[in-house]
Structure 1
Amino acid sequence: MALGDSYAAGFGLGDPTGRPVGACAQSAEDYPHRVATALDLDLTDVSCSSATTANVVDTRQSGAAPQVDALGPSTRIVTVSIGGNDADVFGTAASCIALGRTGPVFDAKATTRSCRETLDAGGDDRLTRAIDSTTATGLRRAFTAIRAQAPNARVFVVGYPAVFPDAAHTPVSGCFRPVIDGTSLSEGLPRNGFPFTDVDVAYLSGVQAHLDAVLKRAAAAASFTYVDTLPGSQAHSACSRADPYIEGVSLVASAGFTKISLEPGALHPNARGAAYLADQTAAAITRSLASTPSAGAGAGNGAGAGVAFGLPVAVWLALGLGLALIAAAVVALLVARRRRGRPSPDARDTP
């Protein structure tokens, strides 16, 4: 069973599934589908782009039912990627497009040098505060609801891969790649850009690391397995020119440049990224299944439940009942034989 937002649904990838509704932009190339193929699992994928924890718990989304409605006592494995939209982390990041490596941020006035100027004004980091409050609370509710609906499932919380690189993986020359330049009107808009100032790359990298840390703590509190995809993807963020796991930013302009919008999939896992998430998740599931106590050891989870010394409880009960019936029959037979071997009361009284 797969739950989650656009990072689970494969927003921007091909082969749309139309599930749970078309507006979810779910792809058959997303990491849950890849995991199911790799491990030969039956999959129900209700992940949906733009989903928040509320859409997991109790709020319909574009006509789709709350995601936990798809769970049940028979659900055995759940993957979930959720939380980023509660604080609008990635939506905010997408609004930080800049005109140059040192700014300004692209807006109507183009006067703000970086997003951090407004998001972290006076030492009050608005995004971090939202993660610590809105996201953390939403994760607790979502994980509680998942456990209630799927009491027998192993749950794997898949963290977000690096969209913005940490300092160790940021080039000395910075990450900036423009999405609009002096030749755009004549030659078209540049593709796969990374239009963020040096200040915002460092800032947004820190915000994402904080988001993943909150996810990890929430997973641990719920006794779920956390799949940490951040360290292994730092060298493959959208900043990378060689082997990125995250799609860069490309703009789509209407005729005459009267309207400009982001191309679907910007700052989301590309095919390589979906494969990476699938590999990490499949490995975590495999390790978890391998660590399950054997049925002979009296495991109490999954297929081992209700098994002792290799025989199901029902068999032991049947054997016990049979033995009891045999014992009762033997006792009755012995009593009858003893009675036949004794003189009758009348015989003892005869002179």
Structure 2
Amino acid sequence: MSRRLFSVLAFAALLLTITPPAAHAAVQDDVYVALGDSAAAGPLIPNQVLPDLGCWRSDHNYAHLTAQAIGARTLRDATCSGAKTTHMYQSQSTDLGSVPPQLDALTADTTLVTVQIGANDVGLTDFIEDCLNILPPPVGDACNDDYVVNGQDSWRVATDALRPRLTQLAADIRARAPQARVFVVGYATYAPPNGCYPRVPIIAADANYIRGTLQYFNRMLAEQAASAGVGFIDLQTPSVGHDPCTPAGTRWIEPYVPASPAAPFHPNARGMRGFATAVTAAVSGA
């Protein structure tokens, strides 16, 4: 995600939320490795955990909650805010130091892997920010036509360019963790039909564009997961009615000015609980 979103709130929130990782009793045999970006890491959600503080990783993200729910013997949470597919293979620089490639968390005894990645490759957070409009047209400028170049939707072109990379990533995960059940995790619902201007300052046409392009992105993830022979976990469907336009007590994704400890346009603690329910059901075969 864009680092500028953290510039005012991040370090103040960090001082309030840092705790060491909690230890849980081992009751099952799963060795669970969580891979992904900020949508999986849970930036600013209490409590932010050691090590790798620059990853803005919460001990209440869906990986931690799922590991607890299934009684995993081990959780290795390698998720990191700002991660792209390249950071599965290469170290990632953060504001607080470098972190190793996420695939390094995989071992031969890994039995469960979730991976939520790709949004930063196509600039999802910056894309949503670009569509913010304090004033509606004609004073404000719609964003959706900015992404049409020579008759092609550049956001969808970038989405399609990820397909072979994700297929290769699934193969590489399986090569390092041949015993593991592998699941690609999709992204949530970020906008209802027509949006909710001015509560979230994105005009109706742009809200529908964001909604459509995210649906396309999630379809791509599901298709590539099926092509690679791994599972897909849909977070878009369960998050309907919990988008940034909904009341603070209902929403799972915070708007540009969060009302709960979370990064803008990212899951809050309630959202992570909802996502953990979906992830737990999927990895348990429910």
TM-score by length of 1: 0.67
Aligned partner (choices 187, 193, 197) of residue 176 of structure 1: 197
Report the Cα offset of residue 101 of structure 1.
4.2
Contact kept in structure 1, 2:115 and 2:183, CA below 8 Å: yes
Q: Kindly provide the amino acid, as one letter, of the partner of residue 183 in structure 2.
A: F
Name 1:6's counterpart in structure 2. Answer: 38
Residue 86 of structure 2 corresponds to residue 54 of structure 1 = yes
Residue 173 of structure 2 corresponds to residue 146 of structure 1 = yes
Q: Kindly provide the amino acid, as one letter, of the partner of residue 153 in structure 2.
A: D
Report the Cα offset of residue 199 of structure 1.
1.1
Report the Cα offset of residue 91 of structure 1.
2.1
Name 2:6's counterpart in structure 1. Answer: none
Q: Distance in 1 between matches of 2:185 and 2:151?
A: 30
Q: Distance in 2 between matches of 1:283 and 1:146?
A: 22
CA gap 1:229/1:53 in 2 versus in 1, 3 angstroms: same
Name 2:148's counterpart in structure 1. Answer: 120
- Secondary structure at the aligned position of 2:182 is classed as strand
- Secondary structure at the aligned position of 1:129 is classed as helix
Aligned partner (choices 238, 244, 265) of residue 238 of structure 1: 244
Report the Cα offset of residue 12 of structure 1.
2.7
Report the Cα offset of residue 225 of structure 1.
0.8
Q: Distance in 1 between matches of 2:45 and 2:231?
A: 26
Q: Kindly provide the amino acid, as one letter, of the partner of residue 186 in structure 2.
A: G
CA gap 1:103/1:230 in 2 versus in 1, 3 angstroms: farther
Residue 110 of structure 2 corresponds to residue 99 of structure 1 = no
Q: Which structure has greater helix proportion?
A: 1
Report the Cα offset of residue 90 of structure 1.
2.3
Q: Distance in 2 between matches of 1:35 and 1:277?
A: 9
Q: Which structure has greater strand proportion?
A: 2
- Secondary structure at the aligned position of 1:43 is classed as strand
Q: Kindly provide the amino acid, as one letter, of the partner of residue 269 in structure 1.
A: P
Report the Cα offset of residue 138 of structure 1.
2.6
Name 2:229's counterpart in structure 1. Answer: 223
Q: Distance in 2 between matches of 1:12 and 1:141?
A: 31
Report the Cα offset of residue 215 of structure 1.
0.6
Contact kept in structure 1, 2:83 and 2:92, CA below 8 Å: no
Structure 2 runs not aligned, ≥5 long: 1-32
TM-score by length of 2: 0.81
Name 1:302's counterpart in structure 2. Answer: none
Name 2:107's counterpart in structure 1. Answer: 72
- Secondary structure at the aligned position of 1:232 is classed as coil
Q: 4+ residue runs of structure 1 moved beyond 6 angstroms?
A: none
Q: How does 1:1-351 map to 2 (within 5 A)?
A: 1-19=33-51, 21-41=52-72, 42-62=74-94, 63-102=98-137, 104-105=139-140, 113-121=141-149, 123-133=151-161, 135-165=162-192, 167=193, 170=194, 174-177=195-198, 193-241=199-247, 243-250=250-257, 265-287=263-285
Structural RMSD (CA): 1.9
Q: Distance in 1 between matches of 2:56 and 2:137?
A: 34
- Secondary structure at the aligned position of 1:155 is classed as strand
Report the Cα offset of residue 264 of structure 1.
5.8
User: Which has the larger displacement, 78-87 or 96-105?
Assistant: 96-105
Q: Distance in 1 between matches of 2:108 and 2:208?
A: 44
Report the Cα offset of residue 228 of structure 1.
0.9
Contact kept in structure 2, 1:103 and 1:197, CA below 8 Å: no
- Secondary structure at the aligned position of 2:115 is classed as strand
Q: Kindly provide the amino acid, as one letter, of the partner of residue 271 in structure 1.
A: A
CA gap 1:53/1:153 in 2 versus in 1, 3 angstroms: same
CA gap 1:100/1:121 in 2 versus in 1, 3 angstroms: farther
CA gap 1:198/1:223 in 2 versus in 1, 3 angstroms: same
CA gap 1:278/1:57 in 2 versus in 1, 3 angstroms: same
Contact kept in structure 2, 1:116 and 1:200, CA below 8 Å: yes
Report the Cα offset of residue 3 of structure 1.
0.4
Q: Distance in 1 between matches of 2:218 and 2:149?
A: 23
Name 1:324's counterpart in structure 2. Answer: none
Higher Rg = 1
Contact kept in structure 1, 2:42 and 2:262, CA below 8 Å: no
Aligned-residue identity in percent:
32
- Secondary structure at the aligned position of 1:287 is classed as coil
